[in-house]
Structure 1
C-alpha cells in the first residue's frame, strides 16, 4: 500500500496509488538543520534532515525552526503507529505526504518559512470502539488472530497492557513489534514486569518510549502509567493526579500493567507496594476515572471497587491461571464508547497449540513460554558429559550446549531450599529435583556439576538432534554415574526411587515448574 498526496496549506489534494507524482522545487541554497520539537510521539531516530517517530497519541505535532532566513529549509519525517487513512495533516506550509502502509506515513517539507508546524489529528467520533489486551509474552499467535478479527472493521486504536515479551530481549521486541504492526491500527503500550528483565527496560524505551503519557480522543481521556516494577513511582503518581485533574473530558481511562489489587480470594499477584497501590486507587477515585485497565494476572476479570471499575486483560497468549468460569480464557476486550455510555465485551481467542520447540517455565505465581531462540539468547555453557543407565552402561557421551536451569527459573522468580523442581517431557515423563540440584554446593558440584537445559549436542541443533531439549548434568570429570546420582538425590527423588543417572536426563522437555513449599 502506498499513496502520495500534497498538502497545500490546509487543503489536501489526494493522488491515487499508481499515479506518478513529481514535485519540483526551485533551485535554492539549503539551510542548516532545524531545531525540532515533537509532541505525542516517541523519537525512534533523528538525523540532521530526517526524523522517525512512533506515535503515542492520536494527535502528533512536529515543530521545525530554522535559525536562518536565506534559502529553503527541507526536512523529512516518518511517522508510524497512526491510522494513516484516517489521520488529517495540517500545516501552514506545503507538505508532500506518502502513505507507506496502514499505520505509517512519510512527510516531506521544503519551505522558505523560518518556522513550520505539522499537526496530525484523527477526527473524533461520538461512537467508536477500541481494544484492550495484555500478556502476549512472546506468543504472537494471539496478536495475529486479533489482526484477522479486526480486519475490515477497524477500531480506533488498541492498548497492550504489558508483558509483550518473555524477558525483554531485543529479538523478542522485534517479533512483537512486527506482530503489532500487522494489526493495522495504532497500538499504545505500557511495559510489564517481564519486559524490563535483563535490561529489557532500556530496549523497551528505545522502541516504544516511556510508559507515562496521555492523550484525548472524542469525549475521552486516556492515561498510561508504568507499574513494571510492581509499583507506580511517586513522581508518576503525582503526574497522573495532575494529568487527570487537568482533563475536562467526561470519560477517563487509565492503563498500567500490574493491578493495585488481586480480585481472587486469597491471592496477592498484584502491586507489592501497598502504599503506592492505595494512592493509585485514591487518585482514580478522586478524578472520576471510568475504568482502570491492567494485565499481569493471566485471566479476564471485571471488578468495581470504590465506584471505579478495574478490568484485568491478561490473556492474549500467556499461560492461564484460572478455569474458564473464572476468567481463564484467552481473549481481548472490545470497548465501545457511545456518547457517555461505555460497554465492554471480552472476545475469546484460540488456545495456543503445543509447540515442541517451546518450553513453559512456571511457578505458583507466574509463567511464561519460551521459544528455542529465547533460550539460546540466555548465558550459555558448553561441556562434555555422559551418564550411566540402570544397567551401569555409559551413554550420551558428547558435548552439550545449553543454559543453566537456574537461569530459566529466575525468569519467573526465586527457588527456595524447600521448593521442588518438576520437569516434564512432551510424552508425559517427569522427574523431581531439589534446590541443591539447581544450586549445587561445592560437594554436589564435584559430583553433578551444573544442571542445564541442553539444546545442542555435539554442535547438532534441534530438531536434527532428536532428543532435545534435554536436561544434562555437567560434572567436572564428564561422567555422571549412578553413585553420583544417588549422592545428589534427595529422599523420595531421583536415584533413591530408580537407580539410573540417565533417568535424570529428561528428554523432550516441555515444562519446568517450581512447586513452592507451603511451610
Structure 2
C-alpha cells in the first residue's frame, strides 16, 4: 500500500509538470508569434496618415481643421491627441531644419508637433517667427500657430552658410546596428555627447522587419537628441517591414541641403534578393536631383554598395587585436578560417552593369562621398574621383576578419576628413567572433521577446525536471540498491575503524 501511494504521488507530480510544461511552451510560442506578427501601433493617442511625399522638392502636405500644412524637408506622420483633448499634427523631420507653410481657410489655431529634431537648435533658427514653442521630448518641439482667413504663414529656419572650419557643425554616420542593442546604445550615448546636427543610419535598422523589432528600435532612437536620417537595408524590408518603416520614418528616398552641402538618401534594399538594387524611378529622380545640386558638396547615402571591395584591398590590420591564431595552432580556428575565406564574399549589386551605371552617375555629377554599409566592417575605395565609405559596424555580428564595431564623425564643409571611432569588439579570431555572434543573437532574442523567452526557459526547466523524474523511475531499483550498499559500506567502515583503534589503544 505504501509503494502504491508513493507511485500515485509521483504520477500526480508528473502529470502536473506535463501540464505546466505545455502551458509554458504554448504561452511562449503564442506571445512570440503575437509580438512578431501583430500590427504595429505607436500608441493609443496617435493616428497615422498615409504617406504623401513629393521627392522632387521634399514636400508633404495635409489638411486639418480648415488649415493646410505643407512641410519641406519632412513629412506629415499623423495626428496625436493631447492631454487636453485637442489634436496636434505630427510632423517628422527628414532634415535638421525643415520649413513649413501654413495656409488658413478660416481664423484659427493649429498645434504642430515637430519630432526628430534638436529642439533648441531648431527654436533658435525660427526665432524671427515669434511662435510659442515648447520642448516636449529630447527630440520633439511643440509649436502653436495662429492664423487668419486666407493668411499664409511661412516658417523658414535660418540655414547656416559656408564652410565651418571650427567643426562645430558635424554629423555622425553609422550602419548595420540591427540587433546589436548594447553597441548601438553606446553609439547613441556618445553621439548625444558630440551634439551633431544630424545622425545618419544607412540601413539594417532591425533584423527581420518584425513589428516588435521596429518597436524596440524606435524606442531606442527616441533617445537621440537630434535629427536621425535613415535609409532602408535589406533586413528592414523583410515581411511587412517596408510598410512599418514608411509609417515611422517616411519615404524610401529623399534629399536635403544643409549649409553648402547636399545629402541624398537612396533605397537599395532590394539589391540583396533581386537583380536590380535601385529602381528606374529612383535613378531618374537621382539624376535630376544631382543636376540641381551642382556647385554644392554632394553626399549620397545608401545601404548596399555597388561593389564589394574586400577581394581587392589589403587587409586592414588592427594593432590592438593580438589574438591572431598562428598557422597550425588551432584546428577549429583553421577550419573556420578556411570556411570564411572560401564562401562567397560578394555583397555588392548583383548586376555588374547596374554597379557601373551607379558609379558613373556618381562621378559624372561630382559626388564627393558615398556612404554605404551592408558589410559589417569598415572599408573604403575610390572610383573615378568619388570616395566610397562602407561603415557597417554599429552592432550587427562581426564575422569578417579585422572588422570592429565603430561609427564615423564628419564635419559639414569638410569633404575629405572622416574620423572613425572604434568601440569594444570581439577578439580578431573566428572562434571568438562566432561565440560573440551566438551571444548577440541570444541577447537580441531576449530584448525583443522577454516574456516568451521566460516562458520557454520555464518550459525547458520543467522538461529537465521530467527527465530527472523519468530517469529516477527507470533506475529506481538500482539506485536504491546502490544507496543501501553505500550505507552498508559506511557502517562497516565505522565499525572496523572503531575495532582497529580500540585494539591499538588497548595494546
- Does residue 58 in structure 1 map to residue 58 in structure 2? no
Q: Which residue of 1 aligns with 2:410?
A: 335
Matches of 2:204 and 2:362 in 1, distance apart? 23
What do residues 478-516 of structure 1 show as CA deviations (whole Å, max 9, x unaligned)?
xxxxxxxxxxxxxxxxxxxxxxxxxxxxxxxxxxxxxxx
Alignment of 1:384-423 (within 5 A): none
Q: Tell me if structure 1 keeps the 8 A contact 2:172–2:191.
A: no
Q: Tell me if structure 1 keeps the 8 A contact 2:104–2:147.
A: no
Q: Which residue of 2 aligns with 1:86?
A: 121
Matches of 2:129 and 2:406 in 1, distance apart? 45
Alpha-carbon shift at residue 57 of structure 1 (Å)? 1.0
1:123 to 160, 182, 187: 160
What do residues 353-405 of structure 1 show as CA deviations (whole Å, max 9, x unaligned)?
99xxx98599xxxx99851465799xxxxxxxxxxxxxxxxxxxxxxxxxxxx
SS at match of 2:358: helix
Matches of 1:77 and 1:95 in 2, distance apart? 11
Q: Tell me if structure 2 keeps the 8 A contact 1:329–1:348.
A: yes
Q: Which residue of 2 aligns with 1:461?
A: 455
SS at match of 1:59: coil
Alpha-carbon shift at residue 469 of structure 1 (Å)? 12
Of the structure 1 ranges 342-351 and 189-198, higher mean CA displacement relative to structure 2 is found in 342-351
- Does residue 289 in structure 1 map to residue 330 in structure 2? no
Alignment of 1:78-227 (within 5 A): 78-87=113-122, 88-90=124-126, 95-112=131-148, 114-121=151-158, 123-124=160-161, 126=164, 127=167, 128-227=169-268
SS at match of 1:37: strand
Q: Tell me if structure 1 keeps the 8 A contact 2:117–2:227.
A: yes
Matches of 2:443 and 2:282 in 1, distance apart? 31
- Does residue 316 in structure 1 map to residue 394 in structure 2? yes
Alpha-carbon shift at residue 130 of structure 1 (Å)? 1.2
5+ unaligned residues in a row in structure 1: which ranges? Answer: 1-30, 378-454, 471-519
What do residues 244-296 of structure 1 show as CA deviations (whole Å, max 9, x unaligned)?
11114431100000000000117311112333322211111111111101111
SS at match of 1:461: helix
Matches of 1:468 and 1:297 in 2, distance apart? 41
- Alignment CA distance shift 1:468-1:75 (3 Å): farther
TM-score by length of structure 1 reads 0.61
Q: Which residue of 2 aligns with 1:397?
A: none
- Alignment CA distance shift 1:122-1:235 (3 Å): same
Q: Tell me if structure 2 keeps the 8 A contact 1:60–1:121.
A: no
Matches of 2:244 and 2:290 in 1, distance apart? 28
- Alignment CA distance shift 1:238-1:111 (3 Å): same
What do residues 117-157 of structure 1 show as CA deviations (whole Å, max 9, x unaligned)?
22345535624321111111122222211122234431221
Q: Tell me if structure 2 keeps the 8 A contact 1:192–1:258.
A: yes
Matches of 1:208 and 1:341 in 2, distance apart? 27
Alpha-carbon shift at residue 341 of structure 1 (Å)? 4.7
- Alignment CA distance shift 1:59-1:469 (3 Å): farther
Matches of 1:157 and 1:93 in 2, distance apart? 23
Which has more radius of gyration? 2
SS at match of 1:206: helix
- Alignment CA distance shift 1:118-1:250 (3 Å): closer
Alpha-carbon shift at residue 305 of structure 1 (Å)? 1.5
Q: Which residue of 2 aligns with 1:496?
A: none
Matches of 2:195 and 2:184 in 1, distance apart? 14
- Which gives a bigger RCO, structure 1 or 2 (Cα 8 Å, sep 6+)? 2
Matches of 1:109 and 1:123 in 2, distance apart? 25
Alpha-carbon shift at residue 308 of structure 1 (Å)? 0.9
Matches of 1:341 and 1:330 in 2, distance apart? 23
Matches of 2:298 and 2:132 in 1, distance apart? 36
Q: Tell me if structure 2 keeps the 8 A contact 1:317–1:352.
A: no
Matches of 1:317 and 1:32 in 2, distance apart? 44
SS at match of 2:204: coil
Matches of 1:115 and 1:179 in 2, distance apart? 37
Q: Which residue of 1 aligns with 2:302?
A: 256
Q: Tell me if structure 2 keeps the 8 A contact 1:233–1:276.
A: no
Matches of 1:468 and 1:184 in 2, distance apart? 45
SS at match of 2:121: coil
Matches of 1:469 and 1:350 in 2, distance apart? 38
1:278 to 345, 356, 360: 356
- Does residue 34 in structure 1 map to residue 67 in structure 2? yes
How many aligned positions are there?
A: 348
What do residues 403-428 of structure 1 show as CA deviations (whole Å, max 9, x unaligned)?
xxxxxxxxxxxxxxxxxxxxxxxxxx
What do residues 82-116 of structure 1 show as CA deviations (whole Å, max 9, x unaligned)?
12111245488652111123321000112325222
TM-score by length of structure 2 reads 0.62
Of the structure 1 ranges 182-191 and 254-263, higher mean CA displacement relative to structure 2 is found in 182-191
Q: Tell me if structure 1 keeps the 8 A contact 2:299–2:367.
A: yes
- Alignment CA distance shift 1:307-1:100 (3 Å): same
Alpha-carbon shift at residue 352 of structure 1 (Å)? 7.5
Alpha-carbon shift at residue 463 of structure 1 (Å)? 3.6
SS at match of 2:350: coil
Matches of 2:356 and 2:308 in 1, distance apart? 13
- Alignment CA distance shift 1:32-1:315 (3 Å): closer
